[in-house]
Amino acid sequence: MTATSTLTNFDVELANPRISLEERQKRMLNLGFGKVFSEHMIVIPYTAELGWGRGTLKPYGPLVLDPAASVLHYGQAIFEGFKAYRQRDGHIRTFRPEANAHRFNQSARRLAMPELPEALFLEAADLLIRTEQDWVPKAIGESLYLRPFMIATEAALGIKPASEYVFVILASPAGAYFPQGVKPVTVWISDDYVRAAPGGTGAAKCAGNYAASLVAQAQAKGEGCDQVVWLDAVHRRYIEEMGGMNIMFVYQEQGETVIVTPELTGTLLPGITRLSLLQLAKQLGFKSEERRVTVEEWEAALLEGRMTEAFACGTAAVITPIGAVKSRKGEWIINRRETGPVAAKMREALLNLQHGITPDSYGWMHTVC
Ligand code: PLP
Ligand code: COI
């Protein structure tokens, strides 16, 4: 049963009955990542003929797809991920959602999919979050993770950009991404597989990139590691990313702390956490550099004590320290497999800002309600 009403760009069909307080509390215990979903979702259809249609906020449930829908065959599918945080002052705010709306359209262009007006992306997310306020957890490090995505729905087996799509947003209350929490991970440097090549889709957040990464991740697991580290496809020397996160290295140079992260060459995903940490570094008294880093440099800098920490960063897990690096050539330990002070400080600074504990001096937080 649903109750229907109308907003400017959206029809609203609320779930009836809503989930009870007790049931919601039960589902929100021991959250983890991406396993629990809220009660509603947003759906906006697109056709080449009519453009974006009227959106609907409706009860969470299955999508009906024609078995010939081209996403199922040729993989036109892109997604985003950002979070809504409960604030000290009782408001709910999202972190840089306009950056996700912008990157979503960059991904859309790369996959020959239609762009969605950024204002509509933001309005849709705000409507869903306002409806699902009770699903935003309270603890620091917990949030409501928003998963906007777009898939090609046209029933057609010819290889061409589809003429029909659907844009959807799901909401999922989230705790720690990795089951072990913020403990340092061991990474495997992948020689056998690459994530992205020049001219490919590495800078887009498209489903196929993740499908192609799974076998390398499985190999890393088989080598006793938690995550895979990707090298560039051409030279197989330059470090690009760790799993689904950007990577940062901490150097000590002439009494200064320098955060070094691989430059965006077109094969890396331009992370919003990466960009934010580069901006925050200055405020925390750290220098930062965007440049290429080779595997040889990683090993040498660690052995010489010039590099003191390494960590990965992304929306889902925020900051994940790297405690050890393994490859076919050997294994190196970083910071005695402990979380280092720079990773801890940056994580705390970012989370405090996201939860409204420290002032939002960059104007990054977007008030939803
Ligand atoms: N790299 C990849 C491959 C990703 O999937 C993500 C996640 O979105 C990131 C990096 C980090 O990006 P962001 O900080 O915008 O979440
Ligand atoms: C991230 O937020 O860092 C991600 O990579 C999201 C992941 C679940 C695809």
Flag whether 366 is in a domain: no
Pocket of ligand 1 (CB under 6 A): 81, 205, 241, 244-246, 269, 271-274, 314-315
pLDDT tens track for 268-316: 999 999 999 999 999 999 999 999 999 999 999 999 999 999 999 999 9
- Domain range for 48 is 2-174
pLDDT value at position 3? 59
Tell me the C-alpha distance between 231 and 293, whole Å.
Answer: 10
- 235 with 110, same domain: the answer is no
pLDDT tens track for 137-157: 999 889 999 999 999 999 999
- 143 with 235, same domain: the answer is no
Stretch among 30-44, 167-181, 288-302 having the lowest mean pLDDT: 167-181
Flag whether 111 is in a domain: yes
pLDDT value at position 4? 67
What average pLDDT does the segment 38-55 reach?
97
- The CA 245 to ligand 1 mean position distance, Å, reads 5
Over pLDDT 70: what percentage of the chain? Answer: 98
CATH of the domain at 281: 3.20.10.10
- 125 with 192, same domain: the answer is no
Flag whether 359 is in a domain: no
Flag whether 262 is in a domain: yes
pLDDT value at position 13? 97
- 153 with 8, same domain: the answer is yes
pLDDT value at position 38? 98
- 52 with 83, same domain: the answer is yes
- The CA 318 to ligand 1 mean position distance, Å, reads 10
Nearest protein Cα to ligand 2, atom 6: 316
Query: Do residues 236 and 164 lie in contact, with contact meaning Cβ atoms separated by under 8 Å?
Result: no
- 189 with 164, same domain: the answer is no
Nearest protein Cα to ligand 1, atom 3: 244
Query: Do residues 79 and 205 lie in contact, with contact meaning Cβ atoms separated by under 8 Å?
Result: yes
* Pocket lining: 245 vs ligand 2, CB cutoff 6 Å: yes
- 108 with 231, same domain: the answer is no
* Pocket lining: 243 vs ligand 2, CB cutoff 6 Å: no
- The CA 253 to ligand 2 mean position distance, Å, reads 31
Over pLDDT 90: what percentage of the chain? Answer: 94
Counting the structural domains of the chain, the total is 2
- 239 with 259, same domain: the answer is yes
- 12 with 72, same domain: the answer is yes
Q: Extract the tokens encoding 330.
A: 């050997």
Burial level of 244, CB count in 10 A (0-12/13-18/19+)?
Answer: buried
* Pocket lining: 315 vs ligand 2, CB cutoff 6 Å: yes
Flag whether 87 is in a domain: yes
- The CA 149 to ligand 1 mean position distance, Å, reads 15
CATH of the domain at 144: 3.30.470.10
117, 140, 174 - which closes a domain: 174
Flag whether 295 is in a domain: yes
Q: Which of 177, 217, 242 to mutate to test the pocket of ligand 2 (most atoms within 8 A of CB)?
A: 177
Taking the whole predicted model, whether its pTM rises above 0.85 is answered as yes
Dihedral of the CA atoms 249, 253, 257, 263 (nearest 10)?
-40
Helix (H, G, I), strand (E, B) or coil at 30: coil
Flag whether 360 is in a domain: no
- 161 with 223, same domain: the answer is no
- 57 with 196, same domain: the answer is no
Maximum Cα interatomic distance, the chain, rounded to a whole number of Å: 67
129, 148, 174 - which closes a domain: 174
Flag whether 365 is in a domain: no
pLDDT value at position 8? 76
Q: Please check the confidence at residue 2 and state whether its pLDDT lies above 70.
A: no
- 137 with 245, same domain: the answer is no
Dihedral (CA of 344, 203, 62, 92) sign: positive
The angle formed by the CA atoms of residues 7, 103 and 133, to the nearest 5 degrees, is 40
**Residue 177 confidence class, pLDDT cut points 50, 70, 90:** confident
- Strand-strand pairing, 185-189 and 318-327: parallel
174, 208, 228 - which closes a domain: 174
